[in-house]
Amino acid sequence: MKRRSFLKKSATVGAGTLAAGAVAACSPSPVDPNSGAVKSAAAGAQNQPSIELRMVTTWGKNFPGLGTRAVEFAEDIEKATNGRIKIRVYAAEELVPALQAFDAVSQGNADIYHGPDYYWQGKHPMFNFFGAVPFGLTATEMTQWLQYGGGQELWDELSGRFNVKPMLCNATGMQMGGWFNKEINSVEDFQGLKMRIPGLGGEIIKRMGGTPVTLPSGEIFLSLSQGNIDATEWIGPWNDLTLGFYQAAQYYYTSAYHEPSASVCAGWNLDVWNSLSDSERIIIEALAEMHYARSLAEFNARNAGSLRTLISEHGVQTRQFSPEVMKALADAGADVAADIGRTDEISNRIYNSYMETLAIAKEWGGIADEPYLASRRLSDKFGQAL
């Protein structure tokens, strides 16, 4: 679709309205910035019509680190484009329900969604691989796959089938294993367990004899406190403290096998994305990478302090799954991932590409990162303030 006709048409449709007219891109000039030519170009850019877009999210309004990051991402895009691209952010339920954000963007009823792609596994099971894979890639390894292992091209291909352009824009870092109203001491303890857990982690719980439930953030606490579910995972101490899960469950498990990091996506309606200029797309992709790095740093910084608060002020008891339980979870996870990797031709390509990067990451991490982390724990002198 040509840019001019797309913008003209979209001015008459509902959500995702774009202002009529083209948005001119400004390129850095090699000449003196005080010259008349540069001043004229800058003035011309400022006079271009703005584009007004809608972002729908899967988060509650101002939810720490996720809802807030979506707003900041939109604000930074407006600043970086000198106001040419303006994005209004809608929290979950304000425009569409959380789990309908993908459809809204795919169908052109919104322009951008902000949420984890494993929520869309009903559209295609391989969306899980771009959200979180149990025992899979960490946050930094995920960027390794997407940028240097062919992952982004495969993601573009899969999402493009639904008229969406995807990009990473948030990372939660290593997550926790979840909140349980009973201790998990053996594999048998998963029998009959009803747990809020989406994606491939949910399929593992199912194969362990439990029942997985998918709920957005706003519904989890009530379900847990009323006994409608027996356990829940969410993210980590920072967000778990905010949602008050310590008031509804006694045991807090570490070892988040199901999500070594949740990759949060900004998914753009493909027609909208293609209507932008090259410079606008570069700006947006650079900002998404910046927010991914910043969000990972923020979660790592805030989770540690929040865990201390949960333990010292609220008496939360932390637990670890036993090696026996972790082995059973890992075996089930490997089977789940392989099974959906056989779904169709693109599933097979995504699976093999992901696993090739995982094998490399495990090999290098075993040589470099793991011995270092183990040796760093040998002395308690490091990490002490003077």
Counting residues of the chain whose pLDDT is more than 90, the rounded percentage is: 82
Q: What kind and span of H or E run contains 71?
A: helix 67-80
Confidence (pLDDT) at 13: 37
Residues 74-110: pLDDT tens digits? 999 999 999 999 999 999 999 999 999 999 999 999 9
13-17, 347-351, 369-373: lowest mean pLDDT where?
A: 13-17
Read off the pLDDT of residues 171-210 as tens digits, 9 standing for 90 and up: 999 999 999 999 999 999 999 999 999 889 999 999 999 9
- At 46, the pLDDT band (50, 70, 90 cuts) reads low
* Domain 178-261+303-361: assigned CATH number: 3.40.190.10
Which CATH number applies to 3-22+48-172+262-299? 3.40.190.170
Question: Do residues 212 and 203 touch, judged by C-beta distance below 8 A?
Answer: yes
pLDDT of amino acid 136 = 96
Portions of the chain given CATH number 3.40.190.170: 3-22+48-172+262-299
Q: What is the pLDDT of residues 3-19, one digit of tens each?
A: 334 333 343 333 333 33
pLDDT band at residue 123, thresholds of 50, 70 and 90? very high
Sign of CA dihedral 137, 138, 140, 143: positive
For 150-161, the pLDDT digits (tens) are 999 999 999 999
DSSP 113-156: EEEEGGGGTTT-GGGGGGT--TT---HHHHHHHHHHSSHHHHHH
Token pair recorded at residue 100: 């309908």
Residues of the chain with CATH 3.40.190.10: 178-261+303-361
**Across residues 233-239, what is the average pLDDT?**
94
